[in-house]
Amino acid sequence: MLHRAKRLESIPPYLFMELRNKINRARAEGIDVISLAIGDPVEPTPAPIIEELCEAARRPENHRYPTDEEKGMAVLRQEVCRWYVQRYGAELDPEQECLILIGSKEGCHHFALAMVNPGDVVLVTDPGYPGYKPSIWFAGGEPYPVAMTAENGFLPDLKSIPADVRQRASAFYLNYPNNPTGAVATPEFLRTLVDFARENSIAICYDNPYIEIVFDGEKPLSLLSIEGAKDVAVELNSFSKPFNMTGWRLGMALGNRTAIAAMAQVKSNTDSGVFNAIQYAGTAALRECAPNIEEMLNIYGRRRELVVGTLNKLGWDYAPPKGTFYLWVPTPQGKSSLELADELFERAHVVVTPGSAYGQYGEGYIRFSLTVPDQRLEEAMERLSRALG
């Protein structure tokens, strides 16, 4: 007679596991489902990265526990810091301000264990990435949703957070370019955020895996390029999206030394780091694969136009956001996000994510992901036009 730990009772099954199960069930029945639900790039990882992995995997010294288990390999940390200063204008010390992660999702979890005490309030945006709340719950914290609305450009209104909540808050999770809304942050907003965090002694977990995925002349923006950010913030980043490496599980945490050391302490008691060969492959990505990012942006730009064009033809007045490979589309009046998502699934066998899955303020939206091959996206748009036209 085994009993699951009580802490799991408050933690719902992970949203995308449920969606995956639904898709798999339909496919097992022979239905040709097109999933626009999950942000998992389909293009292959660039060749130099794979070559470096293979070469490093052949060297027996890499078959042992990873070098510098706790922080990640020095060569990769140095490369990450070089990338950050050259690309985003943020200076970081590879020894004390950089930690290699098993993807940014891992960082979200370890940040909570490292920085949140039981009973602390932790601010999260609503709508927000579904990975944050479970990590906060695991640490015994209480998530407090801060609304993001179209009127505010999907940036949280920090003034709306009541004084007693600010006082009890020890951390704030947010991400721009934003999943799910696609909104980008402005330097002015980030400056206000840093001031807010300093005034209230709040540790910021700025989750930035989409930093490179911006359009319409927008430039990648790191919170760590803002003066004073290192006093209060850790930025998480990832190889998953810019280099089509979601399956490789490689990311990094950068910024505040106290938080980085605390996360390293959690990590050293939890895992033994990332396979050296994958870390070497990560250095190849940063050294050689910046041009692949341009290519990737062309692909998503083209798909973005296709979906927006289709929606406009269907009479939906919709202008795309400037970041990420997601489109956060208002549902036609009177339809809930779940109703529309179900309708698209039933009538077109196209899966989108209902906005309500991202929080109360996600109601009234559905999210499309552009991470399917062009042809499948064209087919999805044809089906959508037939079903809704």
Ligand X SMILES: Cc1ncc(COP(=O)(O)O)c(C=O)c1O
Instruction: Name the residues that contact ligand X, by CB under 6 A.
Output: 39, 103-105, 129, 131, 175, 179, 207, 209, 238, 240, 246, 251
In the complex with ligand X, the residue whose CB is nearer, 141 or 180, is 180
In the complex, least distance from residue 16 CB atom to ligand X, rounded to whole angstroms: 8
In the complex with ligand X, the residue whose CB is nearer, 213 or 377, is 213
In the complex, least distance from residue 2 CB atom to ligand X, rounded to whole angstroms: 30
In the complex with ligand X, the residue whose CB is nearer, 211 or 341, is 211
In the complex, least distance from residue 25 CB atom to ligand X, rounded to whole angstroms: 23
In the complex, least distance from residue 247 CB atom to ligand X, rounded to whole angstroms: 9
In the complex, least distance from residue 207 CB atom to ligand X, rounded to whole angstroms: 5
Q: What is the 3-state secondary structure (H, E, C) of the chain?
A: CCCCCHHHHHCCCCHHHHHHHHHHHHHHCCCCCEECCCCCCCCCCCHHHHHHHHHHHCCHHHHCCCCCCCCCCHHHHHHHHHHHHHHHCCCCCCCCCEEEECCHHHHHHHHHHHHCCCCCEEEEEECCCCCHHHHHHHCCCEEEEEECCHHHCCCCCHHHCCHHHHHHEEEEEECCCCCCCCCCCCHHHHHHHHHHHHHHCCEEEEECCCCCCECCCCCCCCHHHCCCHHHCEEEEEECCCCCCCHHHCCEEEEECHHHHHHHHHHHHCCCCCCCHHHHHHHHHHHHHCHHHHHHHHHHHHHHHHHHHHHHHHCCCCCCCCCECCEEEEECCCCCCHHHHHHHHHHHHCEECEEHHHHCHHHCCEEEEECCCCHHHHHHHHHHHHHHHC
In the complex, least distance from residue 14 CB atom to ligand X, rounded to whole angstroms: 12
Packing angle, helices 47-57 and 276-288, rounded to 10: 150
In the complex, least distance from residue 6 CB atom to ligand X, rounded to whole angstroms: 27
In the complex with ligand X, the residue whose CB is nearer, 179 or 256, is 179
In the complex with ligand X, the residue whose CB is nearer, 20 or 168, is 20
In the complex with ligand X, the residue whose CB is nearer, 225 or 324, is 324
In the complex, least distance from residue 312 CB atom to ligand X, rounded to whole angstroms: 26
In the complex with ligand X, the residue whose CB is nearer, 129 or 215, is 129
Residues 6+ apart with CB under 8 A from 321: 154, 178, 181, 182, 183, 184, 327, 328
In the complex, least distance from residue 237 CB atom to ligand X, rounded to whole angstroms: 8
In the complex with ligand X, the residue whose CB is nearer, 210 or 310, is 210
In the complex with ligand X, the residue whose CB is nearer, 104 or 279, is 104
Q: Which residue number places its CB atom closest to ligand X?
A: 103
